[in-house]
Amino acid sequence: MTTEYVKKTIEEIKAKLIAAKRPFLADSFEKCYPNTLETTTELNPDGTAFVFTGDIPAMWLRDSSAQVRHYLPLAKKDEKIRRVIEGLIAKQAECILNDAYANAFNREASGKCWSADKTEFTNPLAWERKYEIDSLCYPVCLAYLYMKASGSKAHITENFRAACKRILEVFETEQHHENSKYFFIRENCPPSDTLPENGKGNPVAYTGMTWSGFRPSDDACRYGYLIPSNMFAVVILGYMEEMFCDDNGISSRANTLKKQIDEGIKKYGIYDHPIYGKIYAYETDGMGNYTLMDDANVPSLLSIPYLGYVSADDEIYKNTRKFILSKENPYYYEGKAAKGIGSPHTPERYIWHISLSMQGLTSQNNEEKEYLLDLFERSTAGTGYMHEGFDVDDPDRFTRAWFAWANSIFSEFILSVFGE
């Protein structure tokens, strides 16, 4: 499903890339920009839309939101794009009301899943019940940005309002995780695929922040307060305040929660690094333990300005950026062909196209952006498509040939450089 305005955007950006003597990127943009619409979007008779991730037949709340974000500039004039995005927001609200702790969903309640897990209840609609803060943040972010881009509030339905109330309830519950009923156990798997302590995760102290079982990589958190995801929560709680300014039951709760989480980040989420000074930690438990790293998946520390928590000029962010784009970050790799941020989710010395796009989207340095454009040209293994991770010494070695999120955020980066 490629619309007239999508085709026009492709033609315009391709012309600019060719004029800039980047024909291979022109080919990549032509393939990547419409990829979500052409391969991973299903429109349902009830007006909803199911947007699956690519090579896995399930819809992640996170991925599906990110997969359509680069279409937002078309929302005001493209009726078909509005149909997709409004339909997706409606489907996401249904999913959250069905199970606010699940990260990914089936098309219907088929019972299909990534793996058999033990959780507090069985849900045949859920593909996986890994609780991740960002899974609840992304749909709110998409709804808010769509409202701003389209000028419409048609998608802010009673169902969506109820989903936002459920998000507030979960965030509040998980400020005191010891009282939560949620647990997650997966047997005969790597430690990153299950939670310790009988599925409850490692102990945490109260901080004001809200707990997360898993990272946006779907890997288990080492310490339950995931800082970039809590930052994202602060941002979307502000969005809720604005969207529901007429509903004090939502806006006042969102404001209180936003302040509590933000205070927790400022008190417990900043680490005094001996080389880089004050930086944002990736995780903490509120008891003096920290994870110092960054992961390619978004929300990440690299993505903080993109999320809207602080600007790229923020001193702590600038220190953090220097740290995570250095060998001090255990998942930053440099090789014969490339350098960038990878993830414990993929093989060692594999970096991600998502993190490279995010590096470009948050960069204030034109030379850095030019380097990244060069790197995209030579890292698709000749396919023109973006992948999950690729070997820094040999980009022909990669994971996931069909990963729509990577294609979408690459398109967003290209639009940020060559678009209007």
- For 88-97, the pLDDT digits (tens) are 999 999 999 9
Residues 117-130: pLDDT tens digits?
999 999 999 999 99
Tokens of 97: 């009301």
pLDDT at 50 over 90: yes
- When pLDDT is cut at 50, 70 and 90, the band that residue 20 belongs to is very high
pLDDT at 53 over 90: yes
Residue-by-residue DSSP string for 61-86: HHHHHHHHGGGGGGTTT-HHHHHHHH
- When pLDDT is cut at 50, 70 and 90, the band that residue 1 belongs to is confident
Residues 269-289: pLDDT tens digits?
999 999 999 999 999 999 999
- When pLDDT is cut at 50, 70 and 90, the band that residue 2 belongs to is confident
Dist. CA 328–CA 315, nearest whole Å: 18
Helix boundaries (H) for 151-247: 158-173, 196-199, 227-243
Residues 359-375: pLDDT tens digits?
999 999 999 999 999 99
**For the chain, domain boundaries:** 1-33+331-420, 49-328
Residue given tokens 């955020």 in the structure block: 409
pLDDT at 420 over 90: no
Closest CA to 413 of 32, 12, 2: 32
Q: Which amino acid is at 349?
A: R
User: May I ask the CATH architecture of the domain 49-328?
Assistant: Alpha/alpha barrel (1.50)
What is the number of other CB atoms lying within 10 angstroms of the CB of residue 166? 17
Closest CA to 231 of 309, 321, 138: 309
- pLDDT (average), residues 148-168: 97
Looking at every residue in the chain, the average pLDDT score rounds to 97
Q: What is the pLDDT of residue 116?
A: 87
Q: What is the pLDDT of residue 253?
A: 97
- The H-or-E segment that residue 298 falls in is none
Dist. CA 286–CA 401, nearest whole Å: 39
Residues 246-272: pLDDT tens digits?
999 999 999 999 999 999 999 999 999
pLDDT at 101 over 80: yes
Residues 311-336: pLDDT tens digits?
999 999 999 999 999 999 999 999 99
Burial class (CB in 10 A: 0-12, 13-18, 19+), 209: buried
Higher pLDDT, 112 or 116: 112
Residues 380-413: pLDDT tens digits?
999 999 999 999 999 999 999 999 999 999 999 9
Q: What percent of the chain has pLDDT over 90?
A: 98
Question: Checking phi first, is residue 328 left (phi over 0); if not, alpha (psi -120 to 50) or beta?
Answer: alpha
Q: What is the pLDDT of residue 381?
A: 97
Backbone angles phi, psi at 59, to 5 degrees: -105, 115
